[in-house]
Structure 1
Amino acid sequence: MTNIVFVGAGAMAEAIINGLTKEEKISPAFIHVMNKSDDRQLAHLKETYNVQIVCGQKKALTEADIIFLAMKPKDANNALTSLAPYINNKATIISVIAGISIHTITNYLGNRPIARVMPNTSATVGMSASAVCWNELVSEESKLLIINLLESIGTVKAVAEDDLHIVTALSGSGPAYFYFFAEQFESAAVEHGLNKGDARQLFIQTMEGAAQMLKKGDVEPKELRRRVTSPGGTTEAGIEQLMEHQVSEAIFACIHAAQNRSRELGKLFES
């Protein structure tokens, strides 16, 4: 059985642990968690998922097949430095730390199989849109294993490492943009007299339905929009306002700014 160690016990680590145990990918007996603080969270993980808490037990690192780096970026420097002497040569590293490159991780942990993953917070409900990349030392067998593990929290796409910056902007930060739109649509509906609860449920169902239409994949988004937009109708009136207020330009600027910030954060860590 594959021995897994999570270094870090925050929300993303828990989401992955939840997926692995719920989908029975890995027995809780082979999932180990360590964290530099927050005993309450560690106790919660133990009680909820029956995983093994191994803080201070470096032996877990020496016996690990896979090590998930799930600490906060600000803690990564000290954590990687302290972990390096204990990680065995066969272990594959999977990092979910935003902005820290494979090259940088290699500088800390040596030349070994390393993968980087950019999930999003929808991993909590098993609906993450994750992207993964790896170095040349990750075998084809290990790639399949990593993808299989990550599929417990949603869908997975393999990408080039440089593309993780745009993935961070698109799907990593994407849920926040969606929630922002939900806020605005809900507020507008309430301002025009609709009950807040009704507004939210109608918006959710509308988005779920639209997402399913897109997921079918047989019709382009532009055509789906055209089919809803009758000439002279209500949808056209709304679309005209979106165009007038330059929403398209705002979305492009949003994605551009987010991916630029991802690159900046990576450089800050490496410097």
Structure 2
Amino acid sequence: MTTLSSSGIAPDIQTMNLCFYGAGSMAEALVRGVLDRGLTEPSRIGMMNRQNAERMRELSDRYGITGAVGDAAKETMLREADIVFLAMKPKDAADAIRGVRDLLHPGQLVVSLIAGMTIATLETLLGKPMPIARTMPNTSSTIGLGATGLSFSASATDAQRRLTDAMFQAVGLTAIVEEPLLEVVTGLSGSGPAYIYYMMEAMIAAGAKLGLTPEAARELTVQTVLGAAHMVKATGEDPAELRRKVTSPNGSTQAAIEKFDAYRFAEAVEAAVARSAERAVEMGAEIERNAKS
């Protein structure tokens, strides 16, 4: 079952402490989102990373959150958190989680932003039963227009599920799916922005090659993609129907679509999404092997 949502009411988290282990762009996007939505106060948010003290100072100055520097501060932050966000890089995740698992307890909600890491692998690394939310956001979350897939462990309560959903709605749309489908979410929306950028690259290059200035080609391409996305959103119509409406028989658009078909464009996109999902599974298997070693 898949549940899509774009708005909602968060359970009260004003009294909860949030700890982000990892301070990259996705963690920052979520911090900015929950603060902008007024879901909590900066004093309730702590962030930590392995050793970049300058990054902690930067985020503290920018958002008013607490940036933990030093082992004692990090340990206290992890112990006292109600929600722990795991936002480290996949290659560092297994060792990092092993290093802090004794500080965590079953009363906390663990929210994983680690690409490819399954709930089962995370449970193995934690070494104890804990409620877990596995998430797959995309980079558009950094501007509040993200698309995030969510899955939960069996021990996650309804309140914890609603809470996680509300927090990620603060940076865009959410889709609650069974865990195996998170890899499909990875192939579709997780990697999806790159597909659109790739298409835009080609359109800009084509416009410039045919005589437009690079600046004009870029601006026209950006506005075209923006307008097309808004048309789908605003009208609620199927993209196929909107495409048909602008494709006159024997017209210039039809000629272009025929070229796409000749190069098997739709098949290429389907294969790309499938391969991305497949690679996500492979990455998960690699993480699982590291977790067991």
TM category, shorter: over 0.9
Unpaired runs of 5+ in structure 1? none
Q: Distance in 2 between matches of 1:104 and 1:173?
A: 22
Q: When the two structures are superposed, what TM-score results if normalisation uses the length of structure 2? A: 0.90
1:87 aligns with 2:104: yes
Query: SS state of the match for residue 122, structure 1?
Result: helix
On the 8 A contact 2:56/2:68 being kept in 1, the answer is no
Q: Which amino acid aligns with 1:140?
A: D
Identity of aligned residues (%): 37
Q: Which residue pairs with 1:117 in the alignment?
A: 135
How far 1:195 sits from its partner (Å)? 2.1
On the 8 A contact 1:190/1:196 being kept in 2, the answer is yes
Which one of the candidate residues 93, 100, 109 is aligned to 2:117?
100
How far 1:217 sits from its partner (Å)? 5.8
1:51 aligns with 2:68: no
1:29 aligns with 2:46: no
Q: Which residue pairs with 2:275 in the alignment?
A: 257
Q: Which amino acid aligns with 1:265?
A: M
Q: Distance in 1 between matches of 2:27 and 2:201?
A: 28
On the 8 A contact 2:47/2:65 being kept in 1, the answer is yes
1:181 aligns with 2:199: yes
Unpaired runs of 5+ in structure 2? 1-14
Q: Which residue pairs with 1:269 in the alignment?
A: 287
Q: Distance in 2 between matches of 1:220 and 1:77?
A: 42
Q: Which residue pairs with 2:12 in the alignment?
A: none
Q: Which residue pairs with 2:221 in the alignment?
A: 203
Structure 1 range deviating more: 246-255 or 216-225: 216-225
Q: Which amino acid aligns with 2:35?
A: T
How far 1:213 sits from its partner (Å)? 2.1
Give per-residue Cα distances to partners, 1:119-162, cap 9 Å, x unaligned: 01111101101110101211111111111111111111101100
Q: Which of structures 1 and 2 has the larger relative contact order (alpha carbons within 8 angstroms, sep 6+)?
A: 2
Number of equivalenced pairs: 271
Q: Distance in 2 between matches of 1:181 and 1:31?
A: 38
How far 1:116 sits from its partner (Å)? 0.5
Give per-residue Cα distances to partners, 1:88-139, cap 9 Å, x unaligned: 3210000000000001111122111000110011111011011101012111
Q: Which residue pairs with 1:169 in the alignment?
A: 187
Q: Which residue pairs with 2:256 in the alignment?
A: 238
Query: SS state of the match for residue 116, structure 1?
Result: strand
Q: When the two structures are superposed, what TM-score results if normalisation uses the length of structure 1? A: 0.97
On the 8 A contact 1:122/1:128 being kept in 2, the answer is yes
On the 8 A contact 1:64/1:88 being kept in 2, the answer is no
1:152 aligns with 2:166: no
On the 8 A contact 2:204/2:217 being kept in 1, the answer is yes
